[in-house]
Amino acid sequence: MQDRTQANPNTPDVTTLDPDTASTVIALYEAGVDARKGLFTSEWADRLREDIEVAYEEALGRPGGAVGRGTNRHYVEIHPEQMRGWLDLVDHPWVREVCTAVLGPDYEIVELGFDVPNPGAKDQPWHRDFPMPAETADGGRLTSLAFNVTAVDTEQDMGPFEIAPTTQWDLPIDFAHEMFPAEALYPRFQNLAVRKYPQRGDVSVRSALTIHRGTANFSAKARPVLVLGVDAAGAGNAEHHDMAVTRRFYDSLPARIQRHLVCPVVEELTPITQRHSIEGLMMGDA
């Protein structure tokens, strides 16, 4: 696998960055994933879990409120105002600086949602979250990041997230819909695979192109995890999402966050009907 951190002229210049941000940028271009332990307190994560539980119950109670991501798995997109700690997350210096370094100063906050692998969830197929953009395939530039925040302490039997480092650069040869590698390619990902066991307060960041999957949840507990999606300007993922903010909420935000919001500003929020489905993950009885 080519070392794009040396060969790619679009790799951000980390010499101008603080060491913490630089190490994350290098990790994203090399492994495709990085994390910070204890970025927030466990109490902050507990509030996140409470907000997810409220939003999840509401979503399951109406048509189109949640979308299946496999057996006993759901994804729910929410509005920023449904998460009390949203501003804490998007305004954290590490989050802002990583987004700026990788995606540019005009990065766009495009997605907020959560995945819930419930008891009985099965192994997902290996996949990436969307097709590889031309900017990545041809120029080796990352144009999107996904920040993940666990709402519970992850244990071995809870269906931990599994990721295959360096595969953000794999060209989609023999990939169904440019997202789902053929099973003949699975040994490569299984040889590279690393399982993640984040604890409350930990935050990870990855390229959404890095091949990954959720694994089987053999426990009696759900493993909810928040997803914050951020794009380079013009990357185009915003059009697949439906989050919005109220005028009152928008006006309360610092200008440094307002400038990165590309979602509608409305007088009143309406529940989101999920349309960010990934056909290859809608298996079984989810």
For 132, residues 6+ apart whose C-beta sits below 8 A from its C-beta are: 171, 172, 178, 209
Q: Are 113 and 77 in contact (CB under 8 A)?
A: yes
Does residue 131 lie in a domain region? yes
What is the tens place of the pLDDT at every residue in 108-128?
Answer: 999 999 999 999 999 999 999
| pLDDT tops 90 at residue 255 | yes
Give residue 104's pLDDT: 96
Residue 23 domain-assigned (yes or no): no
DSSP string for 230-260: EE-TT-SGGGG----EEHHHHHHS-HHHHTT
Which band of pLDDT confidence, cut at 50, 70 and 90, is reported for residue 230? very high
Percent share of the chain, pLDDT over 70: 93
| Distance between CA atoms of residues 64 and 72, nearest Å | 16
DSSP structure class, residue 200: T
What's the CATH code of the domain at 148?
A: 2.60.120.620
Structural domain range at position 47: 39-274
Amino acid at 108: E
Residue 1 pLDDT more than 50? no
The answer to whether position 24 is within a domain reads no
Domain count of the fold of the chain: 1
CB 210 within 8 A of CB 32: yes
pTM tops 0.85, yes or no: yes
The whole-number pLDDT of residue 8 equals 57
- How is the beta sheet containing 212-214 ordered, strand by strand? 194-195, 161-163, 212-214
Per the domain annotation, does 7 fall within a domain? no
